[in-house]
Amino acid sequence: MTELQEGQKAPEFTGKDQEGNEISLSQFVGKKVVLYFYPKDDTPGCTAEACDFRDKYESLTGKGIVVLGVSVDDEKSHKKFVAKHNLPFTLLADTDKKIVEAYGVWAEKSMYGKTYMGTNRKTFIIDEQGNIAHIISKVDTKNATNQVLELLKLS
């Protein structure tokens, strides 16, 4: 699997959201999409990132930007995470790991000397034509929205 590059077509996907609805990337042609990958619902960094998108959500939607979060947690976990933190955007349950693999974020990680497979935190900004406009590899969980807006020159 070659690493995705800015300028190339974003891989199409379909996944289930926290309500069990099927969501496909192709539904958002004509809009900018912030597709952010995160390791796990309700962990400190992931919560900080989700809450940053929540707190500045109107600054994104006001510019016609759609926010989609993806992790390998299931719909039930997402539903609890959304309810607990009042998240106004869609979270996709990628339990079969098709989306994380298509975007190259399913990778070997290590913690406390143990190696395991997990999701790398990464954000893809997809333009109105479905191409990858920007990739944020070093996500600042507390300022994720500002990173997006600065890249899009919208801050």
Catalytic annotation, residues: 46
Q: How far apart are CA 35 and CA 133, in angstroms?
A: 11
Q: Residue 75 CA to chain centroid, in angstroms?
A: 15
DSSP code at position 105 = -
Work out whether strand 32-37 and strand 122-126 pair parallel, antiparallel, or are unpaired: antiparallel
Rg (CA), the chain: 14
